[in-house]
Structure 1
Amino acid sequence: MPSTHDTNGPGALLGNPASGGFEAENHLQGFGGFHGGLALALLTSATQSHVPDLELQSVTGRFDRSIESGFTVASSLVRAGRTSAVVTARAESDEGLHIEASAVYGRPGEPSWQPVAPAAPTAPPPDECEVFAIPPEFVPISASMQIRPVGSARPYAGGPDPELIAWVRLLEDDNAPDVLRFVFLMDALAPSYAAVLSQLVLVPTVELTVRPGAGLAKASSPWILLRARTLAASAGGWINEQIDAWDPDGTYLGAAHQLRVVRAG
């Protein structure tokens, strides 16, 4: 189900990312700037070149300011040991530092230990769920994705529970997500805390950590099922959110954690 704008969409960009510099083109914008998950995926791509024989275990991005124009990416190897390595990357522009990321890589190891993973929530298949249309003038990058919510919860609908569950995919092609697409898609949903809000306020990301699971290497569908849940929220507006992902066959694909903050003004 390719789209008509797949030649320079996020999937194509991640499949062959340019080195060094990027333009914050309008179709790659999220809410208020270059999409955060896409930016973190590009930084992750930059870290991969330092450790081509290792697998990403975790990447954390700290978002200092939104990206609204061209930016450059630089990366460096911090430490390389027998079983793991740490690589950092930065997104900068003339305005200064925008995002600083730190990635942990490791060797997969022998399959000697009992795996543990959360079970997928009960959900009908994607084609039985209605499309949640986000106006592209509001979030331009949404034109490259399709989101099909599971259940009745919606962002800013004043619901009782700070949780959102939805099927998500890129529309550019029918490829299953690789590591870079996974990092991007883990930031595809609205903040789960928005499910209990009844007015439109910003809940931007301050820090995003993505941890791919072993099942991601066996993913066979472009669809992933995301469950985003606010674990805790302070009266001051700081949000602790967890996001889990599964393949349509129930295989656990990995997790993300977001630190967000509500900005009413």
Structure 2
Amino acid sequence: MTLSKTLATLTADNGLYRACPGDDWRQGRTLYGGIQAALAVEAVQRAYPDLPPLRSAQIAYVGPSAGEIEITPTLLRAGKSSAFISVGVTAEAGAAAQLLLCFGAARDSAHRYTELPMPKVEAPDAYEPFFQPPVAPVFTQHLDSRRAGGATVVTGAKRPELLLWLRHRDDAAPDGPASLLALGDAPPPAAMTMFTDRAPISTMTWSVDVLADSFDGGAWHLLHVVGDTVADGYSSQTMTMWTADGRPVMAARQTVAIYA
């Protein structure tokens, strides 16, 4: 089931939202974290349709998610230009994820500065696909991918780094933050490029700054993932996403548990 069709399955019941993503959105024994985040944001935007653009998301993946999930958005505070919303996601095994979302309207500013240059790469068609069945997670069947630099997973790389072109394989993927989050969590942890044998990983937290008011759900985007530290069973990594013309749309950090 495509991203747009999966988002369309959300049903509402007195402030509680339910969805049951298919097994094609799984990553091992749990649902892919990006689809959980996308469904949570979609539920929030349905519950509070007059929100300004999403500016940041703090996400904790606290437990496995499988089967039907329930999403409970709670408005914490709404001011003149911003709003904070907490979102709980539960699944068959209990608590699955907790999100804190910040929405904010654009304001006139006397200052403008950006220092997130996109790496120099060729267009996506110049590169080979990155996600290769049957070893790639099941959910990656919904994504088109190209490796534009860095290493690939389980190659004993000295530097944990990935540089990937990615886009949704869904012509109806909606423009907006749900598609951004469903795409932005797709790369494997950069630490996996250092592995010499396959081993489990699990995202624990994901902190996302959204850098643009709009997001083209069907377009190619370049993602750069760098492991800043890999030690003691954990990795802390930096993630950046750009549009094809070099406009930054996401800056993020992620803490990942690694079992290698």
Q: CA deviation at 1:136?
A: 5.2
Q: Tell me whether 1:54 sits opposite 2:47 in the alignment.
A: no
For 2:35, the equivalent position in structure 1 comes to: 38
Find the aligned partners of 2:96 and 2:175 in 1 and give their Cα distance. 26
For 1:27, the equivalent position in structure 2 comes to: 24
1:238-249 aligned within 5 A = 238-249=234-245
SS at 2:192 equivalent: helix
For 2:207, the equivalent position in structure 1 comes to: 209
- Mapped contact 1:78–1:88 kept (Cα < 8 A): yes
Unaligned runs of 5+ in 1: 1-7
1:97-108 aligned within 5 A = 97-108=95-106
What do you get for the CA RMSD once the two structures are aligned? 2.1
- Structure 1 residue runs of 4 or more that deviate by more than 6 Å after TM superposition: none
Give the residue type in structure 1 aligned to 2:86: T
For 1:5, the equivalent position in structure 2 comes to: none
SS at 1:208 equivalent: strand
Unaligned runs of 5+ in 2: none
- Mapped contact 2:241–2:251 kept (Cα < 8 A): yes
Q: CA 1:221–1:239 in 2, change beyond 3 Å: closer, same or farther?
A: same
- Mapped contact 1:50–1:76 kept (Cα < 8 A): no
Q: CA deviation at 1:115?
A: 2.8
Find the aligned partners of 1:108 and 1:37 in 2 and give their Cα distance. 26
Normalized per residue, which structure has more strand?
2
- Mapped contact 1:11–1:170 kept (Cα < 8 A): no
TM-score by length of 1: 0.88
For 2:258, the equivalent position in structure 1 comes to: 262
SS at 1:217 equivalent: coil
Q: CA 1:233–1:96 in 2, change beyond 3 Å: closer, same or farther?
A: same
- Mapped contact 2:38–2:179 kept (Cα < 8 A): yes
1:95-134 aligned within 5 A = 95-134=93-132
* Match for residue 5 of structure 2 among 1, 7, 12: 12
For 2:180, the equivalent position in structure 1 comes to: 182
Q: CA deviation at 1:204?
A: 0.9
Find the aligned partners of 2:148 and 2:174 in 1 and give their Cα distance. 20
Find the aligned partners of 1:81 and 1:176 in 2 and give their Cα distance. 27
Find the aligned partners of 2:151 and 2:135 in 1 and give their Cα distance. 23
- Mapped contact 1:186–1:256 kept (Cα < 8 A): no
- Mapped contact 1:51–1:85 kept (Cα < 8 A): no
Give the residue type in structure 2 aligned to 1:34: L
Q: CA deviation at 1:130?
A: 0.6
For 1:83, the equivalent position in structure 2 comes to: 81
SS at 2:42 equivalent: helix
Which stretch shifts more, 90-99 or 42-51? 42-51
Q: CA deviation at 1:18?
A: 3.7
Which stretch shifts more, 37-46 or 50-59? 50-59
Q: CA deviation at 1:103?
A: 0.3
Residue by residue over 1:138-161, the C-alpha shift from the partner in whole angstroms, topping out at 9 and shown as x without a partner, is 522111111100125101111121
Find the aligned partners of 1:110 and 1:57 in 2 and give their Cα distance. 16
Q: CA deviation at 1:213?
A: 1.0
Identity %: 20
Q: Tell me whether 1:227 sits opposite 2:220 in the alignment.
A: no
For 1:3, the equivalent position in structure 2 comes to: none
- Mapped contact 1:209–1:256 kept (Cα < 8 A): yes
SS at 1:135 equivalent: coil
Give the residue type in structure 1 aligned to 2:112: Q
SS at 2:149 equivalent: coil
- Mapped contact 1:175–1:222 kept (Cα < 8 A): no
Which stretch shifts more, 85-94 or 160-169? 85-94
Q: Tell me whether 1:252 sits opposite 2:248 in the alignment.
A: yes
